[in-house]
């Protein structure tokens, strides 16, 4: 695992060298793009060690490619003898300067120290709007199939559920943005509907360079929509990245 992490970090740092130089960025009109845009993220996180995940530190590189018609993402997460892989794609047949709507699918694989393996498949509708310069909204609602194989039992367990993600962005002067949201899933975490995550964060993306930085806090709960709501775990994540 250490060899894999070292290799990934080395490749990321090498790729980041060209982006360290200042670059002029023309203002884009929300969802109107000239060709494809590529974004690379590298996230380091710390968990409070509670909950099902039972890990302390995480390492998470991701890549996003998008244009007017589609968005594609892929990423990895390594944390305490576990490894996740995620890929997703969204097609936006309806798009204007201030909103876009479409259909998407997501696949996630989780290897828990070779003791269990989980496959998560999501498919549904996605919607984003940017009605004002200072505000944006994202919403997706998906059907989710979870298939978990436990080595000791030599058996697959299947679960069917609904997954959603609601996120609001507040765009301030000085290239600073705030975001907050509630979701039943995260890019590397997929639970049944009644175990949501609450997220809040801040990001800084200076126009004079391709680099960007972010900080995000997450609080997770189980049985949240019943009288037995229970705190599950919390996480703090720091992200740096760049636009190619």
More confident residue, 95 or 146: 146
Number of domains in the chain: 1
pLDDT (tens digit per residue) in 164-180? 999 999 999 999 999 99
Q: Which residues of 154-179 are buried (b: 16+ CB within 10 A; e: fewer)?
A: eeeeeeebebbbebebebeeeeebeb
pLDDT for res 223: 81
Average pLDDT in the 211-238 region? 89
Cβ contact 14:201 at 8 Å? no
Q: What rounded mean pLDDT belongs to the chain?
A: 85
Residue 64 covered by a domain = yes
Question: Which residues constitute the domain of residue 228?
Answer: 2-22+36-243
Residue 114 covered by a domain = yes
Residue 46 has pLDDT above 60, yes or no: yes
pLDDT for res 30: 58
Residue 9 has pLDDT above 90, yes or no: no
pLDDT for res 75: 97
Residues 150 and 99: their CA atoms lie apart, in Å, by 43
Burial of 146 (0-12, 13-18, 19+ CB in 10 A): buried
Residue 28 covered by a domain = no
pLDDT (tens digit per residue) in 14-42? 333 333 344 444 444 556 556 789 999 99
User: What distances in angstroms separate CA 93 from CA 65, 71, 125, one per listed residue?
Assistant: 17, 12, 12
pLDDT for res 33: 57
At 212, is the pLDDT very low, low, confident or very high (cuts 50, 70, 90)? very high
At 155, is the pLDDT very low, low, confident or very high (cuts 50, 70, 90)? confident
The secondary structure element, H or E, covering residue 222 is strand 211-222
Residue 31 covered by a domain = no
Cβ contact 100:31 at 8 Å? yes
Residue 27 covered by a domain = no
- Supply the DSSP symbol for 108: E
Residue 8 has pLDDT above 60, yes or no: no
- Of 150, 183, 178, the closest CA to residue 164 belongs to 183
More confident residue, 83 or 151: 83
CA angle 63, 120, 216 (to 5 degrees): 50
Residues 139 and 143: their CA atoms lie apart, in Å, by 14
Residues 221 and 232: their CA atoms lie apart, in Å, by 5
Average pLDDT in the 125-147 region? 96
Whichever domain contains 173, its CATH number is: 2.40.160.40
| 11 CB-near residues (< 8 Å, 6+ apart) | none
Other CB atoms within a 10 A radius of the CB of residue 1 amount to: 12
Residue 30 covered by a domain = no
Give the bridge partners for 204, in sequence order.
176, 213
The secondary structure element, H or E, covering residue 2 is helix 2-16
Residue 108 covered by a domain = yes
Residue 3 has pLDDT above 90, yes or no: no
Residue 184 covered by a domain = yes
């Amino acid at each position: 695992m250490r060899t894999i992490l070292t290799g990934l970090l080395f490749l990321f740092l090498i790729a980041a060298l060209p982006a360290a130089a200042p670059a002029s960025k023309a203002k884009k009109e929300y969802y109107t793009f000239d060709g494809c845009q590529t974004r690379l993220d590298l996230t380091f996180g710390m968990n409070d060690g509670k909950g099902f995940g039972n890990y302390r530190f995480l390492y998470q590189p991701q890549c996003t490619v998008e244009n007017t018609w589609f968005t594609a993402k892929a990423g990895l997460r390594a944390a305490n003898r576990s490894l996740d892989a995620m890929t997703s794609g969204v097609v936006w047949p309806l798009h204007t300067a201030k909103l876009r709507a479409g259909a998407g699918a997501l696949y996630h694989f989780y290897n828990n120290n070779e003791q269990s393996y989980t496959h998560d498949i999501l498919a549904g509708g996605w919607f984003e709007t940017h009605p004002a310069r200072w505000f944006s909204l994202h919403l997706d609602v998906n059907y989710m199939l979870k298939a978990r194989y436990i080595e000791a039992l030599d058996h697959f367990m299947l679960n069917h559920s609904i997954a959603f993600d609601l996120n609001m962005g507040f765009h301030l002067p000085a290239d600073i943005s705030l975001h907050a949201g509630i979701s039943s899933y995260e890019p590397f975490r997929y639970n049944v509907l009644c175990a949501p995550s609450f997220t809040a964060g801040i990001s800084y993306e200076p126009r004079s360079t391709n680099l960007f930085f972010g900080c995000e806090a997450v609080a997770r709960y189980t049985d949240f929509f019943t009288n037995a709501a229970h705190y599950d775990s919390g996480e703090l994540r720091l992200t740096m990245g760049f636009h190619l």
